[in-house]
Amino acid sequence: MESLNSLYQVIDKVETLNSLFGLIVICVIAGCVLVLYSRHINRFYKPLRIVLQFCMAAFLSFGLIGLVALAVTNFVGQFYIALFLSLALSGAISLAALFLINRKNNKVKDLQQEKELAEKNLAEALKTCDELRENVRKLESDVANLNSQIDALKSGKSELEKKLDDLQQEKELAEKNLADALKTCDELRENVRNLESDTANLKSQIDALKSEKSELEKKLDDLQQENHTRKNQLEKITSSLTAGAKEFNGHHYKAFEELYITWDLARQRCEEKGGHLATITSQATQDFIVKNFLRTKRTPFDYLFYGYWIGGYTNGKRECFWVTGEKWEYSNLGANDVIASNANLRIDINGFMNDFGAWSFRSGNLTESFYICEWDF
């Protein structure tokens, strides 16, 4: 009986162990399945995810610890104690595993969020990098343009500096000219003041001159009237004085046969008559005088007279002149006569002294000559 009881106990123990072993195997298989699908568990709702993760940890820990307990258990009593310990340890390990899993999941979630944020930031950074590359290309193009502009500006700067130097010189010249202009302006102002003063004086003088002009115009009218009267009188006197005068080449000539006439007195007589002693400046005039005025028929009394005074004379240097200032170019000096100093000219008619009509220079104090007057009209 004892053997049967022992056998029954062994059989019960074996059945119990088989049952427990099957339970442990089922727990291990369930835990492995949960482990295989652990990546999908994270997608579930959080409470369900926590329960599934706890079950996975509990199944695995219970199975593993149960296997250890079965390996070290020699009898049922000890087995239950080991089973109880394994359940307690599996619970503790499951809680610890759950805590670690949650912590890991939180870290994974944080890392996932950080990854997503990093990917987002990377995408934005890549986009920004592309934009920066485009901006860099644009900037490089702008830099090239700016370099060309800088070169142009440098060239323009040199030209502007040259122009600036020219403008500086022009400015200095303009300042100098301005100073000169201001000085000239001051001088002009002074001149203007002087001119204004002179203008005032001239205006007063003009007024005075206008007054004098009116008076002179009045006097001129009186003089013109008087001159007209005198002209009429002079024409009457001239016509009376030149009565018997003969005209030649725009001039009138007349011989006067007065007694005891010196050259100076003859000159005075002609001037009193409005003329002058005759001047003979050409052969034609000489022929006219000889033909029209010199006596050709002689009487014994005529031999007391030797000729006619005309308007020629000499100085101390024996230079010849006409009373009218005409140039001495023509001469009809007699062959037996010479130019005397301080002498007066006559036309001879006495053949004893010289050829008929020839000229001779004699002393002006001699009185044995007539005279011939000339009027320039």
- Domain of 278, in residue numbers: 244-375
Does 288 map to a domain? Answer: yes
Q: Are 290 and 357 in contact (CB under 8 A)?
A: yes
Run of H or E residues at 331: none
In degrees and rounded to multiples of 5, residue 333 shows phi and psi of: -65, 135
- For residue 134 the two structure tokens come to 């485009």
Beta carbons within 8 Å of 52's beta carbon, 6+ residues apart: 34, 41, 44
Cα gap 344→264, rounded to integer Å: 9
Does 353 map to a domain? Answer: yes
Tens-place pLDDT, residues 78-106: 555 555 555 555 556 656 655 666 666 66
Does 265 map to a domain? Answer: yes
Tens-place pLDDT, residues 194-244: 888 887 888 888 888 888 888 888 888 877 787 776 666 556 555 655 677
Domain tally for the chain?
2
At which of 66, 97, 126 does a domain end?
Answer: 126
At which of 94, 126, 158 does a domain end?
Answer: 126
Please name the amino acid found at residue 186.
Answer: D
Does 206 map to a domain? Answer: no
Cα gap 275→268, rounded to integer Å: 9
pLDDT given for residue 2 in this prediction = 55
At which of 95, 126, 157 does a domain end?
Answer: 126
pLDDT given for residue 324 in this prediction = 94
Does 59 map to a domain? Answer: yes
Does 191 map to a domain? Answer: no
Does 212 map to a domain? Answer: no
CATH of the domain at 329: 3.10.100.10
